[in-house]
Structure 1
Amino acid sequence: MAEYGGEQPLLSSVHGGCGRVLNGEDCDTEPIDGVADLAKEFLVESKKLWYLAGPAIFTSFCQYGLMTIIQIFAGHLGTIQLAAVSVENSIIAGFPYGLMFGLSSALETYCGQAFGANQFEMLGIYMQKSWVILNAMAFAAVPLFIFATPVLKLLGQTASISREAGKFALWMIPQQFAYAMMLPSTKFLQAQSKVMAIAVIAAVAFCLHGFFSWLLIGKLGWGLPAAAVVLNWSWWFIALAQFLYVISGTCGEAWPGFSWTAFEGLWKFLKISVACAVMMCLELWYIMALTLFAGYLEDAEISVDALSICNTFFMQNLVLLHMIISYTCSVRVSNELGSRHPRKARFSVVVSGVTSLLIGILFTLILVLSRKQYPAIFSNSSEVQQLVEKLTPLLGISVVFTNVQYTLSGVAIGAGWQAPVAYMSTVCYFIFGVPLGVLMAFKFKMGVQGIWCGMVIGL
């Protein structure tokens, strides 16, 4: 048991068996023979995929919809309010969230393989390790929120945006601790395919969030402080509801209760968590960097607003693809590897990739066809709406490109290969994507379109 909690969750140290999995051989799986057999197996794997992905996609839209609702109300308060919320969310809150999201992704490897190997009691121990690490990360991030205004000014944001975003950031400190509790419990439940419980909790939070946003911001006119209170409350509702579900006895042996064992081997667990964090949060840092550079352009408020609207739709689709590809692929791969079925793991990658490509194309067509309508949902400014319309084709290209990236990310997480992928992503995003985006935006006077072209190149 102690070996499985080490730096790498190697299957050879988990349990007995044929041992041939390390050579790529299955213990009990026959190869696919013929087109008919392929179609049958594709259908079977698709059912498994959608059993996981369906509720996960719904959960994703509900959770990311919390910020979308706040942005809609902030956009109708004014351009400076929308810019403040967008900058705080993408830069100040985005940095620690990216780290915490990545750190928690180690559970997809550990819990997924432990569940496949029937080491159920280890799932709860791993989740508690992750709670310790993420809460420490949340505490470490508090100064960033306290000094958000000078930090944003130092990064080159305008004084008005920095001031409003700084005020909003102070209100958003509790949200970080909600993330620290919610993310590990989410990974813990997903590894066991308990996705319906997560979806129900997210749906209730979304409905309550929409009502209180309308009441406090739209009806009573309490402005950005009310937006922060509602957003904090919604995330804490999700975190507490999932925690109560976990400890209620519904997870059986997977929740052994609180244990001091969670503090044993914490450093080894932290090392693979950091590798996960670097790999998973590079996407968020990439978007954060692009939003930051948009603040240097002429008409910074309009550029940031337009980019934030596109980022909202881009992130919604990224989450959709992440749920279908990275999450489902990592769960399927880790579960099958834990059960010593590498052929099934490989086949799930193929099914995930084909499915995600089709969904990416469909999502892009919807965006392009509605490019004259959807910007008005977020902003009353005609300049912002026109700029978003121009960015939509690039947004669609970005959506399609992500499918290959997230397929491979899911494989890496499920198999514990996070470090090599982190190196590759760093080069693609920050050696090619960001510098070329800045060059096109400022040197070739392409503005925010040049910044997004850099994003496409990086992808």
Structure 2
Amino acid sequence: MVEEQKHPLLLHPNPNNGVANVNERYGGDILLENMSETLSIFDRKRETWDELKKVWQIGGPSIFCRLAMFSLTIITQSLAGHLSDLDLAAFSIATTLLIAISFGFLIGMSTALETLCGQAYGARQHHMLGIYMQRSCVVLFLCAILLLPMFIFAAPLLKILGQSAEVAERTGLVARWLIPMHLSFVFQFSFQRFLQSQLKTAIIAWSSAVSLAVHAIISWIFVYKLGVGIVGTALTLDFSWWLSVFIFYGYVVYGGCPKTWNGFSWQAFTELWDFFKLALASGVMVLLENVYYRLLVIASGDAGSSHAAVDALSICVTLFGWESMVPLGILAATGVRVAIELGAGNVGGAKFAAKVCMLTSSVIGLIFFALVIAIPDKLALIFTPNSSVISIVRELAVMLASTILLNSIPPVFLGIAVGSGWQVLAAYINIGSYYLIGFPLGIFLGRVMNFGYMGIWVGMLGGSVTQILLLATVTNKIGWEKEVQKARGKHFLTNKVVHD
């Protein structure tokens, strides 16, 4: 009889203790299962690391770009303070109110391009990316034109809102000269989404870095040294934003995207209504997210809070705004990664990308949570030496840290919405959570129950919790296979129509 051959890993007696072979005592299947589990854990770690690299390949430059371009305004605003208190107030109102609305709405609308370009890139319909990008420029430009009255008639609008005539008139002057910056958003955001979707992220970071460096130099020369006045100050900001646009344009048109840019096409003027509907939902979704906590300062002032309290809340909201550039970058990465995987027909890849993005954003939220709790005084000193304001900021540290932590989660869900194409539903969830639940609850706690600005903030946090629960519920019920069929069917149908 021939002796049964066994794998040496399963039959290896130990001469030192005389123990029977592993196969006889434990069973070879158990050892094979343990080996399989070890290999599986190793594979999962490797897959997670590979996905993290993909996420940060998109999210890293996106975060840097947002911080750098946001810093252009901060530099100009700080230099405007050297002109006069009136000029500083006018420039601050124009940028924190009018530009914030324009920025939030148009950057939100541009996320529709992430959905379409990401899915087309995943489906290998590369020629469609250039058409989608041009279509985005057309739709966003028309919407930017519709927003122009907000800049042209800024002075009378601010007077209606209660600003003094002197400040309102000066702000109106600044607003009119910031119209070129407002129009640059159309092309800035469209080019950026177009490049992100095909993972050409290095040019995004370089463009932002060059614009920031140039802006710092020309601002120092023209505003600080030559004293060009408030109009010249606004023009330096216009120039720096358009510089970034021209860098993108040169890269795309002159050979940087050979597969996805085939020149200007009349197809950019087709199917504009469908693109507009998707873009409008995206614009509303992001705008409502962007301005929600800004209402805290207004509501607290109306609720009779002290001047120091309102100043402290303004500092907290500003810090929250700076930090929110990070989860917004993760939102972009989530949208692109999910769209690419769905376009490629990879349901598992889309789900895994979403999980890794959620883990990444949550860890970042925890880091900033700990930072705010640890050094609230030092963060407040960046803005003011006033001890009363710093003391209130210290009291608000837990609320600010909790807000930052909670708001590290929704951007990932919104990124999934962008990648899957259900921005309309996400917009409704934002409206319901923030403006039908959170803000009314805050007003009730702050004014009716007399808890002041703390009550308002707690109520608004309730809106954030509601949003997270609703988005999580909807995300868990996504028919991922159906989304794959929609994504691939849409782009292959478009491809057929184009070539026919």
Task: Find out whether 1:332 has 2:337 as its counterpart.
Answer: yes
Shift of 1:53: 2.0
Q: Deviations over 1:27-70 (max 9, x none)?
A: xxxxx984333222211211212222222222222112222323
Shift of 1:298: 5.0
SS in structure 2 at match of 1:105 = helix
The change in CA–CA distance for 1:309 and 1:167 in structure 2 (over 3 A counts) is: farther
C-alpha separation in 1, matches of 2:458 and 2:372: 17
Shift of 1:295: 5.3
SS in structure 1 at match of 2:417 = helix
Shift of 1:391: 3.5
- Whether contact under 8 Å (2:305, 2:453) holds in the other structure is no
C-alpha separation in 1, matches of 2:309 and 2:163: 12
* Residue of structure 2 equivalent to 1:20: none
SS in structure 1 at match of 2:129 = helix
**Identity of counterpart residues, as a percentage?**
37
Task: Identify which of 134, 141, 147 aligns with 2:140.
Answer: 134
Matches within 5 A, 1:149-160: 149-157=155-163
* Residue of structure 2 equivalent to 1:27: none
Task: Find out whether 1:351 has 2:356 as its counterpart.
Answer: yes
Task: Find out whether 1:101 has 2:107 as its counterpart.
Answer: yes
Q: After superposing the two structures, state which structure 1 stretch, 42-51 or 439-448, moved more.
A: 439-448
Matches within 5 A, 1:4-19: none
Task: Find out whether 1:420 has 2:425 as its counterpart.
Answer: yes
Gaps of 5+ in 1: 1-31
C-alpha separation in 2, matches of 1:295 and 1:149: 22
* Residue of structure 2 equivalent to 1:115: 121
C-alpha separation in 2, matches of 1:273 and 1:134: 8
C-alpha separation in 2, matches of 1:349 and 1:434: 29
C-alpha separation in 1, matches of 2:256 and 2:408: 34
C-alpha separation in 2, matches of 1:446 and 1:217: 44
Task: Find out whether 1:372 has 2:377 as its counterpart.
Answer: yes
Task: Find out whether 1:65 has 2:36 as its counterpart.
Answer: no
- Whether contact under 8 Å (2:109, 2:282) holds in the other structure is yes
Shift of 1:220: 4.7
Q: After superposing the two structures, state which structure 1 stretch, 449-458 or 204-213, moved more.
A: 449-458
* Residue of structure 2 equivalent to 1:430: 435
Structure with larger Rg: 2
Shift of 1:303: 6.0
Q: Deviations over 1:364-422 (max 9, x none)?
A: 22233332123333345555544444433322111111122111111110011111111
- Whether contact under 8 Å (1:96, 1:137) holds in the other structure is no
Task: Find out whether 1:279 has 2:285 as its counterpart.
Answer: yes
Q: After superposing the two structures, state which structure 1 stretch, 292-301 or 334-343, moved more.
A: 292-301
C-alpha separation in 2, matches of 1:388 and 1:159: 32
Task: Identify which of 211, 215, 220 aligns with 1:209.
Answer: 215
The change in CA–CA distance for 1:187 and 1:333 in structure 2 (over 3 A counts) is: same
- Code of the aligned partner of 2:362: L
Q: Deviations over 1:7-43 (max 9, x none)?
A: xxxxxxxxxxxxxxxxxxxxxxxxx984333222211
Shift of 1:285: 3.2
TM-score by length of 1: 0.85
* Residue of structure 2 equivalent to 1:188: 194
* Residue of structure 2 equivalent to 1:175: 181
- Whether contact under 8 Å (1:87, 1:165) holds in the other structure is yes
C-alpha separation in 1, matches of 2:99 and 2:174: 10
Task: Find out whether 1:289 has 2:295 as its counterpart.
Answer: yes
Q: After superposing the two structures, state which structure 1 stretch, 47-56 or 233-242, moved more.
A: 47-56
Task: Identify which of 169, 172, 176 aligns with 1:166.
Answer: 172
Q: Deviations over 1:152-185 (max 9, x none)?
A: 2323456565444333222211111110111101
Task: Find out whether 1:400 has 2:374 as its counterpart.
Answer: no
C-alpha separation in 2, matches of 1:445 and 1:71: 36
CA RMSD in angstroms comes to 2.8
SS in structure 1 at match of 2:407 = helix
C-alpha separation in 1, matches of 2:91 and 2:307: 12
The change in CA–CA distance for 1:318 and 1:139 in structure 2 (over 3 A counts) is: same
The change in CA–CA distance for 1:311 and 1:89 in structure 2 (over 3 A counts) is: farther
The change in CA–CA distance for 1:300 and 1:153 in structure 2 (over 3 A counts) is: farther
C-alpha separation in 2, matches of 1:227 and 1:385: 31
SS in structure 1 at match of 2:439 = helix
C-alpha separation in 1, matches of 2:160 and 2:453: 21
The change in CA–CA distance for 1:382 and 1:70 in structure 2 (over 3 A counts) is: farther
* Residue of structure 1 equivalent to 2:249: 243
C-alpha separation in 2, matches of 1:298 and 1:78: 29
Shift of 1:104: 1.0
Q: Deviations over 1:236-255 (max 9, x none)?
A: 11112111111111101211
- Code of the aligned partner of 1:283: E
Shift of 1:74: 4.7
Matches within 5 A, 1:35-74: 35-74=41-80
* Residue of structure 2 equivalent to 1:15: none
- Whether contact under 8 Å (1:321, 1:403) holds in the other structure is yes
Task: Identify which of 90, 98, 102 aligns with 2:96.
Answer: 90
- Whether contact under 8 Å (1:337, 1:345) holds in the other structure is yes
- Whether contact under 8 Å (1:306, 1:385) holds in the other structure is yes
C-alpha separation in 1, matches of 2:379 and 2:81: 13
- Code of the aligned partner of 2:437: F
* Residue of structure 2 equivalent to 1:7: none
